[in-house]
Amino acid sequence: MTSAVSDTSSPDRVLAGVALMLGFCVTAPLLDVAAKLASGSVPVGQVTAARFVVQCALMAPFVWIMGLSLRVPRAHWLALVSRAVLLMVSTFCFIAAISVMPLADALAIAFVSPFIVLLVGKFYLREDVGPRRVGAAIVGFVGVLFVIQPSFAAFGAVALLPLGTAVGFAFYILVTRGLSRRVHPVTLQFHTGLIASLLCLPALMLAEGTGSALLDPVWPQGAAWLWLLGVGFFAALSHMMMTYALSMAPSATLAPMQYLELPVATLLGYLVFRDFPNALTLTGIVIIIGAGLYMIHRERVTARKLVTERAAPPI
């Protein structure tokens, strides 16, 4: 027991967790780049399906090699299906957005997700969330409005799609909180890919020949195959890196690092697509990052206070 505890809190494990989270921040925007490149010639629904089909195919050998069971208690299946549906919807909305919008703009709007999780936790789940963190969430929403305003003027209602991603991903995180303690991460990833694939593929078959720009499937040509594989590969890789990072290092240590996604996405958007946010969008991005980091800071302060109160001897 002693060795297990010391190993979990060892500096080497924390350092490995930080390295994996840095890897997530680099590989997650590569997923967005591949999706944007693929959406130039392949319908958004087909790109979304490829993300889950490839993820499922990549996870299957690991399930077998690691000797993991695919059996999930019946009580968890509703949560498992809900998780897959939420991720599928949020992925579809985001890919539809970046097919016309710059990566950094869409990702900045989608980063309202942590604020939604916090507000849902306070007002629906009755979690103990102080007024400062609520204030930070409101400031974060203001930053999102800074990003949406020029994006809406340039791209119309498409600029609202990342909000769909944010809402879907926020509830995806809330569902995952409960499942992650009961289902192995690799098994969870496999089932998510499988369920989402089983939902996406029939929808594409029904849309065949309809002429729908979003769903009517096409036969990919040339490099489009590579981009579709890249979407699934980087999705599986980035999410596994984040999952294992959280198992090695405290979430309070890793959470601020997730905001590195925004500058990485901005850099990749410029290098690959020659997109760069304007001054108003950059202001919004800075506000979102600042509000998010302050919210994380307040969570750390609250956690330390709780630990101190519990350690204090009774009077």
pLDDT tens sequence across 158-174: 888 998 998 888 888 77
282 is written with which tokens? 């950059």
Average pLDDT, the chain: 83
Mean pLDDT of 208-221: 90
pLDDT tens sequence across 176-194: 777 767 788 788 889 999 9
- Look at residue 253 in the predicted model and tell me its pLDDT: 67
Question: Which comes out higher in pLDDT, residue 159 or 300?
Answer: 159
| pLDDT band for position 81 (cuts 50, 70, 90) | very high
| pLDDT band for position 68 (cuts 50, 70, 90) | confident
- In this prediction the pTM is 0.83
Question: Which comes out higher in pLDDT, residue 198 or 296?
Answer: 198
| pLDDT band for position 252 (cuts 50, 70, 90) | low
- Look at residue 37 in the predicted model and tell me its pLDDT: 95
